[in-house]
């Protein structure tokens, strides 16, 4: 590949580790924060102008949407790691094959998932014990977001390509445009045009569509700089690239699906109570979403840097990367703890003025604080596991963390010990430490230094 074609590829194997990590992670953080703003702004606008029935709808519909993105999150994340490792190993032709394969596979998957979920929309809401008071709002939100699923998948593809090559700034710019548009349309549709929950969902889909189209145009206009020509033949699924993508993507997708499925199950249990607790679940999920924004930002930056440095066999730098990621996460968790202990009511009041919801919100405080530290430790754990490309380990974590720990602990505390919704949320929080325990054993074994093709 020519020097010109190398211009989009960023070398993360040289220079100060902390500086590179922050330069890479901060645009990711802002980008992910803006992406999270989609659903959080929906919750805030709906909570303040519609009330707890609208909050319940956004909470349930948002959880369904997150579950449906498991293929995009898993396989785009896998593609990013594969591209990063190929960059570090200078395998430029493999990068091109991975890009074409990822585009065709993920966009096809998004269409299939949308059709299937639309056909199952009524059984899906019944399985989740959707409160009757918020049923129609939930249906409006869910169906609208299902039709916008292709835009979420498309944005994840383009972002994975750019981030795998070391560029985290452009994805931030693309999502910033969409987030601002979403906030404006949310207020316009819900407050002034009285489109209720459907308006909030429509604003989200429009924002996501703009984000994808702008990012795709950017990638196309700079196709010469990374060697993908966008010809029809280049989008064919390459057998070798698809095999690598499946090997790493399936466990990562299962991991994402397992965790989101556990949250769906917890939501269905919470919905057995009343619409107030369903609304509280929305607050719990949205605060945790902001924790995940920070965690995922450093996970992505750490995994990309780990992938490149493992490809270049610079193991000491990997140690530095992991230590810095963990230290930053713990420091931020301490700040979050102080905020939650000092004035938790101010945090909950951001989302709603509903007195029933606010009077019961104290039940969330301890689980939320534990989730801060769970998110901090997960970022270091997955920086190592994803960066080293270990599909079997990802699969083990998916089963242990996403299924056994979360659902098992939540059922034990909520049902067996009769702690009800508090027990469900505590079980979810405690399970969040499981990836760090597994990753610690993996790190101490030293097997992460072994070369893997997937």
Mean pLDDT over residues 291-316, rounded?
Answer: 86
Angle at 312 between CA 230 and CA 235, to 5 degrees: 15
Tally of residues, the chain: 454
Mean pLDDT over residues 346-364, rounded?
Answer: 91
Helix-helix angle 275-311:365-388, to 10 degrees:
30
pLDDT bracket for residue 8 (50, 70, 90):
low
Say what the pLDDT of residue 7 is. Answer: 47
Q: What is the pLDDT of residues 209-261, one digit of tens each?
A: 998 999 888 888 877 766 677 888 888 998 998 999 998 888 778 877 887 88
The token duo for 305 is 């840097």
Task: Tell me the average pLDDT of the chain.
Answer: 87
Say what the pLDDT of residue 376 is. Answer: 94
Q: What is the pLDDT of residues 378-399, one digit of tens each?
A: 999 999 998 887 867 877 887 8
More confident: 292 or 265 = 265
Say what the pLDDT of residue 425 is. Answer: 95
Q: What is the pLDDT of residues 51-88, one digit of tens each?
A: 899 999 988 998 898 889 888 888 998 888 888 777 76
In the block, tokens 């690239």 appear at 241
pLDDT bracket for residue 168 (50, 70, 90):
low
More confident: 362 or 312 = 362
Gap between the Cα atoms of 440 and 418, Å rounded: 33
In the block, tokens 């700089």 appear at 225
Q: pTM value? A: 0.77
CA nearest to 255, candidates 386, 427, 371: 386
In the block, tokens 């230094």 appear at 449
């Amino acid at each position: 590949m020519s020097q010109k074609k190398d211009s989009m590829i960023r070398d993360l194997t040289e220079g100060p580790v902390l500086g590179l990590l922050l330069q890479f992670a901060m645009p990711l953080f802002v980008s992910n924060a803006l992406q999270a703003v989609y659903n959080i702004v929906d919750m805030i606008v709906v909570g303040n102008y519609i009330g707890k029935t609208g909050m319940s709808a956004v909470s349930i519909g948002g959880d369904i949407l997150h579950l449906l993105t498991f293929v995009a999150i898993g396989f785009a994340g896998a593609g990013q790691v594969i591209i990063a490792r190929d960059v570090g190993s200078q395998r430029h032709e493999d990068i091109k094959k991975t890009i074409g394969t990822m585009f065709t596979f993920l966009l096809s998957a998004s269409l299939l998932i949308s059709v299937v979920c639309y056909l199952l929309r009524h059984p899906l809401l019944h399985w989740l014990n959707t409160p009757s008071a918020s049923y129609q709002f939930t249906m409006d939100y869910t169906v609208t977001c299902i039709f916008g699923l292709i835009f979420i998948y498309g944005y994840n593809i383009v972002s994975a390509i750019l981030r795998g090559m070391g560029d985290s700034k452009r994805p931030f710019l693309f999502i910033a445009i969409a987030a601002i548009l979403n906030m404006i349309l949310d207020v316009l549709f819900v407050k002034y045009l009285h489109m209720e929950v459907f308006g909030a969902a429509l604003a989200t889909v429009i924002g996501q569509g703009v984000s994808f189209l702008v990012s795709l145009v950017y990638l196309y206009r700079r196709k010469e700089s990374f060697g993908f020509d966008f010809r029809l033949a280049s989008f064919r699924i390459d057998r070798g690239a698809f095999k690598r993508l499946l090997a790493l993507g399936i466990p990562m997708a299962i991991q994402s699906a397992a965790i989101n499925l556990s949250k769906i199950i917890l939501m269905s249990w919470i919905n057995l109570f009343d619409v107030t607790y369903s609304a509280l679940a929305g607050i719990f999920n949205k605060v945790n979403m902001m924790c995940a924004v920070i965690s995922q930002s450093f996970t992505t930056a750490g995994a990309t840097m780990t992938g490149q440095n493992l490809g270049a066999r610079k193991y000491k730098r990997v140690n530095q990367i992991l230590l810095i990621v963990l230290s930053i996460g713990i420091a931020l968790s301490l700040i979050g703890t102080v905020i939650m202990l000092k004035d938790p009511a101010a945090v909950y009041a951001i989302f709603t003025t509903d007195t029933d919801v606010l009077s019961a919100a104290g039940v969330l405080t301890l689980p939320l604080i534990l989730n801060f530290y769970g998110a901090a430790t997960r970022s270091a754990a997955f920086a190592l596991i994803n960066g080293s490309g270990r599909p079997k380990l990802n699969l083990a974590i998916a089963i242990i963390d996403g299924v056994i720990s979360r659902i098992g602990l939540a059922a034990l505390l909520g049902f067996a010990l009769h702690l009800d919704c508090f027990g469900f949320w505590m079980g979810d929080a405690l399970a969040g430490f499981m990836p760090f325990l597994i990753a610690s054993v993996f790190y101490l074994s030293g097997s992460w230094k072994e070369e893997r093709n997937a």
